[in-house]
Amino acid sequence: MLQVKDLKVRYGGIAAVKGVSFEVAQGEMVCLIGANGAGKTTTLKAIAGMLKPASGEVIYAGKDITGAPAHALVGQGLSLVPEGRGVFARLTVEENLQMGAYTRSDDGVVTQDLDHIFGLFARLKERRAQLAGTLSGGEQQMLAIGRALMGKPKLLVLDEPSMGLAPMMVQKIFETVLQVRSEGVTVLLVEQNAKLALESSQRAYVMESGEITLSGDARALLDNPQVRKAYLGE
pLDDT of residue 130: 97
- Could you tell me the pTM of the whole model? 0.93
The overall average pLDDT reported for the chain is 94
Cα torsion 36, 21, 200, 187: sign: positive
What domains appear along the chain, each with residue ranges and CATH number?
Answer: 2-231 (3.40.50.300)
Query: In angstroms, what CA-CA distances link 24 with 30, 55, 68, 178, 208?
Result: 6, 20, 19, 16, 19
Contact between 69 and 48 (Cβ < 8 Å):
no
Tens digits of residue pLDDT in 125-174: 999 999 999 999 999 999 999 999 999 999 999 999 999 899 999 999 99
Tens digits of residue pLDDT in 173-188: 999 999 999 999 999 9
Is residue 222 predicted with pLDDT exceeding 90?
yes
